[in-house]
Copies of this chain bind each other. A is one copy, B any other.
Amino acid sequence: MDFHQAPPTLSNTFLSDSNLKDVLKKYVAPDFLSTIEKHLDHVGELACGKWLEWSREAEARPPELTTFDPWGRRIDRIRMSEGWKNLEAAAATEGIVASGYERKFGDRSRVYQAALLYLFHPSSAFVSCPLAMTDGAARAIELYGDDELKKNAFTRLTSRDPSKFWTSGQWMTEKTGGSDVSGTSTIASPSSRPIDGFDWKLDGVKWFTSATTSQMAMLLARPDGAELGSRGLSLFYTELRDGNGALKNIEILRLKDKLGTRALATAELHLRGTPAKLVGSEGGGVRKISSLFNITRVYNSVCATGHFRRALDLAQSYSRVREAFGRRLVDHPLHAATLEHLEDEYAKCLELSFYVAHLLGKDECGTASEDERILLRALTPIVKLFTAKRCMEGVSEVVELFGGAGYVEDTGIPTLLRDAQVFSIWEGTTNVLSLDFLRALEKENAAPILLKKIQNDFASAIEGPAKAPWETMQSILKNAKGDRASLEREARRLAFAVAEIVALGLRT
């Protein structure tokens, strides 16, 4: 009657799992490696120590919205937990965003950053989400912003000082469409009384905004009178709050009651004359925002991989302390085989996500070849879709490996599942990204470059473990001469095949 199951335990992932170290060695020169590893060791400790506690507190105390004050004034105030605030500050201190812009390790800085993010994310209660948008906003400003934005906003977004650090929202989704922004109905009109250079005002409803507690946001809107469709959109910059912390002509219609990412304040916003500035000149909004999407997709891939690792760490630990039918779970051959299978899938995610991070770093530092640039463009969507799907499948399997305990919220396992489902939804669903990959193959001439890369660098893979996906890929491309609709129907199988080939090629 007094039997109590020993719980699974978490240790420093950077030390307990060698996969990350192995991948780093591929990309980082030995002289940088020890500096980086020291920091990662420290971050790994935090992630199984106080970050973990903070993230649990943030989960337990989700954001609360107060729409009115007692006297009927609209205030739209969101209260975040202490845990969330602490994690945001820690993200600044450890340079999760900053490391990508300080470029201390040259074109490997994005690899270093990916490692930080990979360790941070699973204990971050999805503070990683605003960080992704923050990084994307920093990049957009770096590329398109004027001096003022670079001096102020950019400096804050890439600061390591929690008191100066800003996160940024990215408000794209409207009710008319998720990934399809063409129907954007937010209207920008010139302001009759610009204050501090905010010479536009915005009116519209943003339907899914995941960082409503940020200090600034990047968003798409259609200047009054501009043409319909995507081409009429411009990229705008806004700061959310005035000196007293009150929202500037923004109403929060409600917080989303989501399946997961519950510590994260996702809201529906009504912009009612919100002051804004153009980022760059008018027009080209979608093009500008796409620089941002590339970054958030890489973040998504790295976070999904870290998330998958967290689930595996727990499953591994549990399999060593839980007994059934007279043996530890890990000593049951089928249980062990199941875990090994999941490790393989995870390892593919790790390879893929760090490979695109590596390409991104080279691209940004100007050391990427033309082929590498195109590979980055083509692989980013499929790495995102592959890691998201594998993470969800893997976590669902982990839930099952815990049996009934995996289904009970206080073990924390259900949170892993509820959260995992988000990776395949935001930043483009599997289907949307599969078609995006198709576009890259076609429009940016990525197909021959990708084939060359595979045949040159992954030859032993496609003759070995990657044989089946390689055959799939070839057969789809061969039949691709047919009608466009048939090709689209195959886009997803193609994307997964290529992801498998690249992942296995990188591992081999």
Contact = CB atoms under 8 A, between A and B. Distances in A.
B488 A175 contact: no
Given A259-B409, A404-B426, A407-B258, A179 B324 contact: yes
A83 B347 CA distance: 44
Interface in A177-216: 177-180, 182-183, 185, 203-205, 207-208
A103 to B, nearest CB: 34
Interface string A251-291: 00110111110000000100000000000000000000000
B399 A396 contact: no
Query: How many copies of this protein are present in the complex?
Result: 4
Contacts of A325: 177, 180, 182
Interface string A33-65: 000000000000000000000000000010000
**Interface range on chain A (Cβ under 8 Å from partner):** 35 or more
A362 interface: no
Contact of A403 (B324, B408, B429): B429
A399 B425 CA distance: 8
Nearest to A336: B489
B259 A417 contact: yes
Contact of A489 (B179, B334, B392, B417): B334
B68 A254 contact: yes
A417 B410 contact: no
A270 to B, nearest CB: 9
A205 B404 contact: no
A501 B425 CA distance: 33
Given A72-B205, A254-B67, A488-B334, A407 B425 contact: yes
Interface in A11-33: none
A93 interface: no
Contact of A208 (B61, B205, B404): B404
A400 B425 contact: yes
A3 B185 contact: yes
Contacts of A338: 431, 492
A431 B430 CA distance: 28
A259 B408 CA distance: 6
Given A1-B185, A400-B429, A417-B421, A407 B180 contact: no
Contacts of A406: 425
Interface string A298-323: 00000000000000000000000000
